[in-house]
Amino acid sequence: MAAHAHAVKRYPGFWGWLWDWLTTVDHKKIGILYLVAGGLFFVFGGIEALLIRLQLMFPMNDLISEDFYNELITMHGTTMIFLAAMPVIFALMNAVVPLQIGARDVAFPFVNALGFWTFFFGGLLLNLAWLMGEVPDAGWTAYPPLATTAYSSHHGMDYYVLGLQIAGIGTLLGGINFMATIINLRAPGMTFMRMPMFTWASFITSALIVFAFPALTVGLVAMMFDRIFGANFFNVDAGGNIVLWEHIFWLFGHPEVYILILPAFGVISEVISTFSRKRLFGYSTMVFATILIAFLGFMVWAHHMFTTGLGPVANALFSIATMAIAVPTGIKVFNWLFTMWGGSIRFTAANLYAIGFIPTFVMGGVTGVMLASAPADFQYHDSYFVVGHFHYTIVGGLVTGLLAGIHYWWPKMFGRMLHEGLGKLSFWFYIIGFHLTFFVQHFLGLLGMPRRVATYLPNQGFDTMNLVSTIGAILMTVGIAVFFVNVVITSLKPRHAANDPWEDGRTLEWAIPSPAPEYNFKQIPLVRGLDAWWKEKMEGNKELPPAEPLGPIHMPSPSILPFIMGVGFFISGFGFMYNLVFAVIGLVIVLVCMALRSIFDDHGYHIEPEEPKKGEVAA
Amino acid sequence: MSAHEHHAGALPPEPEKATLEGRNKILGFWLFLGAETVLFGTLFSAYLAFRNSVLDGPKPEELFQLPMTFIMTVVLLVSSLTSVFAVQAMHRHKTGQMLGWMAVTIALGAVFLGLEIYEFNEYAHEGHRFTTSAFSSAFYTLVGFHGGHVAFGILWIGLVILQILKKGLTVVTAPKVYVSAIYWHFIDVVWVFIFTVVYLMGKV
């Protein structure tokens, strides 16, 4: 940072540092903010998971009460999906996508900051439920009537509805921003079919966000109107219908699982290709498979509702559509295997996570196809089989993929290499712990153990496997703890990662210093093929060919408005629950900030051409 | 981010697309409208699910007054036309005409909104309130969301008019005119669907 301190006026000391982070519109810093906030919520969700597993360790355990257990499962699911997984995905997208397409920033840097702060304050509002003592407890899917005021009369589910609504605004803004960025800001020569797979995955994920999140918005609005203003959407006595919530929730919720997994697919494609020293096998089929998965992802929401009673025709159609998704997913798995085939594979920590991902995710996919069969689903439904399945896809798939990506791009984000030995140690604890935790849960489910129960009777065949599962959860916790130790140790080391620290980097981000300077590229590069940086290296070039002359670089100004708007949403969220006056005040704050942003044009500032040379790190 | 070289004097023929920022805004806004389409689509499906769940409240065919909603439809469609005139004036660099048409647009929008408030007030007196039935909740949520969009559009276009009075028509202000016009057309299209699905289908 110090090398560019003259670029914007910065204040000294702690407050200057804080102000800098609160007002930043730099995608790289916003990526770090997402990573820190997502990591924080991941710890919350992880502690909740650990408490659940400790409670289930022994039959008839009374470590925690039933009410607390319901709160834990609700908050664990909600926190992990919306507040831990989504922001870490956005962290990687922010850190990597503009660099991979040869851009200086995202299309809307201000909106990017706004997306982060609305997400953050939404998550904060949801988690403040713990401090207020009124915690959501109707499950992360919030099915009515359990989630209506009839069965959940305290403010717990209001925190869920309002917190997710606010966080969802942030996510939607992020999705629009990355779509616009990838369409409009690609460097010359970076055609769509030359985009790195992670960028492709980010693009398709953003499209899914744009078209799936508004459905959740409406569902949450309906639930909020029911709970706070006495509307009747889910009030059967007044003509409402609880199945509507199931449809709306899963119309969002199923694309959401592909929103989660596609970025992991993108990460795996990058990591495996780099560490196999081979170009990704079947690039165009990878692109096609990604698009097809996203398309089919919108057609299968009712497979979550087989037991609701939609009838055999609907169940059969959704069953077949769901099984069809296995085809493009299978294409991807084979492409990764063929990428490794004949490659000179390096087993770095990042690559271990990526290779560990493949069989783990395949297992989650296989149980997915089993669940897609409607008659069989009547047996699996609401049992631990389902819990095992979706943890294989979301933890074994997404979290493993994100950990691969974090290890891989850490030097590009922070300029420091994570310690390889600790990385490998964390991987082995994590992967062994993961399979111990969740593999046995499939069999618990087949034996008949229902999900969402706070305890179980002894001698039903559940005892040993639950104990094994809890031991696995503890091993996973050790693995994650080793990762955090690695992060702390690494942050104390000097910042001297090379431009291309893995030496086999293929894409544009490895051609520039680590961490990237705030303008990313001194000159926007000319892209001459797929894996542009690899191509230049193979032709003996030390730098990317420039597509523009050296000149002043225009930068957007930092702004505190996104933070204030986040605070405004936060106040209005509280206001809707406790006092409508504050709801209005909060929304007025947001509208005034929007008007201010519109009235005062941001002319930005320029970094002069000689400055980049000073800040440049000698390779 | 590098296309900032335009001088205020020489305005290009399509000033809203002259800068990368302008093109980004227009693309981003179309994507936002894609999201809005899903939002209204979901609201419509909720409404369709509940349009017969009237309980003891008034039925749609007793409630709706087609002449009134027809006038509202005409007013809003005309306001969409005037916002096209505003954008055409902008392309001819006739700032005064453009501002005039924008003012007419928001005036018509205000008339529409006034009629809608009057209409809601009438319904409430006839016992069709937000909490009456699932039908009434879904009706007010769908039509109210649209009305909220109209109100926001009035404030937005009003703010753009004030900005142009102060800053003039430039490559920075032109995308604001254009994007607010797309927004206005979108809420007009949504209204066409509301008129059809809610009011006309409510009468049959």
Q: What is the DSSP string of A5-26?
A: TTSS----HHHHHHHHHHH---
ipTM score = 0.93
pLDDT at A9: 63
A601 touches chain B (CB under 8 A): yes
Which domains, from first to last, does chain B contain?
A: 20-203 (1.20.120.80)
Verify whether the Cβ–Cβ distance B49 to A232 is below 8 Å. Answer: no
pLDDT value at position A3? 40
Contact assignment for B135 to A239 by CB distance below 8 Å:
yes
| A149 in contact with B, Cβ within 8 Å | no
| pLDDT, tens only, A193-207 | 999 999 999 999 999
CA nearest A483: which of A411, A420, A570, A437? A420
B174-194 helix and B95-125 helix, angle to the nearest 10 degrees: 30
pLDDT tens track for A30-80: 999 999 999 999 999 999 999 999 999 999 999 999 999 999 999 999 999
The beta-carbon neighbor of B134 closest among A240, A553, A598 is: A240
Q: Does B43 touch chain A (CB under 8 A)?
A: yes
Q: Which of A209, A212, A204, A27 is nearest to A111 (CA)?
A: A27
SS3 A553: strand
Query: What is the DSSP annotation of B76-121?
Result: HHHHHHHHHHHHHHHHTT-HHHHHHHHHHHHHHHHHHHHHHHHHHH
Element (H, E) at A34: helix A27-55
pLDDT band at A533 (very low <50, low <70, confident <90, very high): very high
Nearest to A238 among B32, B35, B134 (CB): B134
Partners of A180 on chain B (C-beta within 8 Å) are 24, 27-28, 31
Query: What is the structure's pLDDT at A609?
Result: 62
Q: Which of B28, B43, B50 sits opposite A239 (nearest CB)?
A: B50
Q: Are A217 and B163 an interchain contact pair (Cβ–Cβ within 8 Å)? A: no
Q: Kindly state whether A230 is in contact with chain B, defined as any CB-CB distance less than 8 angstroms.
A: yes
pLDDT band of residue A610 (cuts 50, 70, 90) is low
Segment A273-288 shows an average pLDDT of 97
Mutate to test the interface with B, among A232, A252, A598 (most CBs of B within 10 A): A232
Nearest by Cα to A184 from B17, B124, B88: B17
Q: Which of B31, B52, B180 to mutate to test the interface with A (most CBs of A within 10 A)?
A: B31
Closest Cα of chain B to A569: distance in Å? 17
Contacting residues of A for B45, CB less than 8 Å apart:
247
Chain A residues in contact with B2 by the CB 8 A cut-off are: 548, 551, 553-554
Residue A563 has pLDDT above 80, yes or no: yes
| Contact criterion met (CB below 8 Å) for A289 and A329 | yes
pLDDT of residue A611: 54
- pLDDT of the residue at A619: 36
**Contact B138/A at CB under 8 A:** yes
Alpha-carbon span A141 to A220, nearest angstrom: 11
- Quick check: A210 pLDDT over 90? yes
Positions of chain B with pLDDT lower than 70, given as ranges: 1-9
Pairing of strands A605-607, A553-555: antiparallel
Residue B145 Cα, gap to closest chain A Cα (Å):
10
Predicted pLDDT of residue B9: 57
